[in-house]
């Protein structure tokens, strides 16, 4: 009841003189790992527009998701992002958003912003309708053929009920299936469809009394990894350098080895196959980068760049052969560590911050940067104090000195600034991993049974159960701690 009351109070408060507030453009990609930006250390990938954001803004090099309560990790990830709430305090697995949880776009709309939603929305139709005053095309769901994405035009009444028929196996059967959407732009890549829509909104925006909030959620680089041929031609798969933690198979049963993402490549994973996957992955990211460039160009031409905060982040990472895995249904760095960049008014240029943070911290950070109240339902921490420290001054990293992660009821993990513990309970069998992230960032050397690691295992295991007691409230938490 307290949360409902807080929301009602915010609804009645609209910040005065919103014309002086900064605009916001929020780019969100799907399955983009933390180490896939050229300017942040990956010399194999071409990301000229993301590089410009790094140059003009601040990159958070220790940004994470909290994990996932579903194999569709992006669904709870997006629910946490949009509510600023932790994993067990969202509704279900993120399929819908509780009306008691004030959404990011919904809050900015109530505070006088014109809010626009474009692209992927994996958290229910009603929450989208609550969040945005315009936008589209919007795709409700997790993934689709990038060249034939079923989408809806924006409906001011929030009615998104039309379904489109298609024949999934025309050579074998006349059986029809149905996809959510009111149209398909056949042969148009999703990244171009969504990027062009955002650029069009910016170029036509003429409301000088209200700033805009534009959320652009790309469906790339999620598979199927297809893109215009010119981008694939930029990468020679044979020359791709693979990470040190590439393996033919995962060394033990983590409980999800036969999940959907893991079946995208045969076992054992071969270097040749993984180089091909990586080349396609990089090509998709470069194609997305080009669409981000179109939006940034439209912003410059509209004369609004100086008063616009730009956020770029990814919803989760991806293994692509690391630790013998293909997907993101695990708690290794490659799957929970995500890219996160901010630039614009009030944000230092050309700097990096190593503060431990979650994507759910973006919500209160944007509120503070725009001088808006933070709803009481938000659990994240504003990163503005971290932004304001001096160059290379990590004194405020301690605003969060440890982090918690989970995947369904199979895996739990905690880390501090150096050490990381991962615990697995699979069919009653427990497996423990301990990694020294400072000396072993690829998580190759398990020190759980090493004499040097005993103290850290005990300390971090205690921390893990402290998080359980802190975060485990209600049926949602109890369900995913079953067996622990």
- pTM for this predicted structure: 0.94
Contact 416, 427 (CB under 8 A): no
Predicted pLDDT of residue 140: 96
Superfamily classification of domain 2-14+22-399: Alkaline Phosphatase, subunit A (3.40.720.10)
In the chain, % of residues over pLDDT 70: 92
Q: Order the strands of the 340-343 sheet from edge to edge.
A: 134-140, 114-121, 212-217, 23-29, 308-314, 340-343, 57-60, 351-353
Of 223, 30, 14, 184, nearest to 114 by C-alpha is 14
pLDDT at 307 over 90: yes
The angle subtended at Cα 142 by Cα 7 and Cα 62, nearest 5°, is: 70
Structure tokens belonging to residue 331: 């708690």
The CATH fold assigned to 403-480 is: Arylsulfatase, C-terminal domain (3.30.1120)
Which of 156-165, 316-325, 471-480 is most confident? Answer: 316-325
pLDDT at 421 over 50: yes
Domain residue spans in the chain?
A: 2-14+22-399, 403-480
Q: Roughly how many angstroms between the first and final C-alpha of the chain, as a whole number?
A: 30
d(CA 217, CA 123): 12
Predicted pLDDT of residue 473: 59
Residue predicted with more confidence, 291 or 473: 291
The count of other CB atoms within 10 Å of the CB of residue 19 is 11
* 363-369 contacts at long range (C-beta below 8 A, 24 or more positions apart): 363/81, 363/82, 363/83, 363/84, 363/104, 363/107, 364/84, 366/24, 366/104, 366/108, 366/309, 366/311, 367/107, 369/22, 369/309, 369/345
d(CA 355, CA 397): 4
d(CA 468, CA 466): 5
For residue 475, the 8-state DSSP code is H
What is the per-residue pLDDT across 385-396, written as a single tens digit (0 to 9) for each? 999 875 544 455
């Amino acid at each position: 009841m307290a949360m409902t009351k807080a929301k009602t109070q915010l609804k009645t408060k609209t910040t005065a003189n919103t014309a002086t507030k900064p605009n916001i453009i929020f780019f969100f990609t799907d399955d983009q790992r933390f180490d896939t930006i050229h300017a942040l250390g990956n010399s194999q990938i071409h990301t000229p527009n993301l590089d410009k954001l790094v140059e003009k803004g601040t990159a958070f090099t220790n940004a994470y998701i909290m994990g996932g309560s579903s194999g569709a990790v992006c669904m709870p990830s997006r629910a946490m992002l949009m509510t600023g709430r932790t994993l067990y305090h969202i509704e279900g697995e993120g399929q819908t958003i509780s009306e008691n949880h004030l959404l990011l776009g919904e809050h900015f709309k109530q505070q006088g912003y014109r809010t626009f939603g474009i692209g992927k929305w994996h958290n229910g139709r009603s929450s989208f309708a609550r969040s945005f005053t315009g936008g589209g095309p919007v795709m409700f769901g997790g993934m689709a053929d990038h060249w034939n994405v079923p989408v809806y035009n924006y409906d001011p009444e929030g009615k998104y009920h039309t379904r489109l028929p298609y024949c999934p196996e025309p050579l074998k059967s006349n059986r029809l299936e149905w996809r959510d959407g009111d149209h398909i732009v056949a042969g148009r890549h999703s990244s171009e469809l969504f990027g062009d829509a955002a650029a069009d909104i910016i170029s036509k925006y003429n409301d000088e009394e209200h700033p805009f909030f534009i959320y652009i959620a790309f469906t790339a680089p999620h598979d199927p990894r297809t893109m215009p041929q010119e981008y694939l031609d930029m990468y020679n798969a044979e020359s791709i350098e693979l990470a040190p933690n590439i393996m033919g198979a995962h060394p033990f049963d983590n409980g999800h080895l036969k999940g959907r993402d893991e079946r995208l490549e045969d076992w054992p994973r071969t270097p040749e196959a993984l180089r091909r996957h990586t080349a396609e992955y990089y090509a998709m990211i470069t194609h997305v980068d080009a669409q981000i460039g179109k939006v940034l160009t439209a912003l410059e031409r509209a004369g609004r760049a100086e008063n616009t905060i730009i956020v770029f982040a990814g919803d989760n990472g991806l293994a692509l052969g690391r630790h013998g895995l293909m997907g993101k249904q695990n708690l290794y760095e490659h799957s929970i560590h995500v890219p996160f960049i901010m630039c614009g008014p009030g944000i230092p240029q050309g700097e990096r911050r190593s503060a431990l943070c979650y994507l759910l911290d973006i919500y209160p950070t944007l509120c503070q940067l725009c001088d808006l109240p933070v709803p009481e339902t938000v659990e994240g921490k504003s990163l503005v104090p971290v932004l304001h420290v001096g160059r290379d001054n990590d004194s405020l990293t301690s605003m969060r000195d440890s982090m918690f992660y989970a995947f369904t009821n199979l895996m739990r993990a905690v880390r501090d600034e150096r050490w990381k513990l991962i615990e697995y309970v699979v069919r009653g069998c427990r497996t423990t991993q301990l990694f020294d992230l400072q000396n072993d960032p690829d998580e190759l050397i398990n020190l759980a049974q090493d004499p040097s690691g005993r103290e850290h295992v005990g300390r971090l295991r205690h921390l893990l159960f402290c998080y359980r007691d802190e975060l485990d409230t209600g049926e949602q938490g109890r369900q995913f701690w079953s067996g622990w």
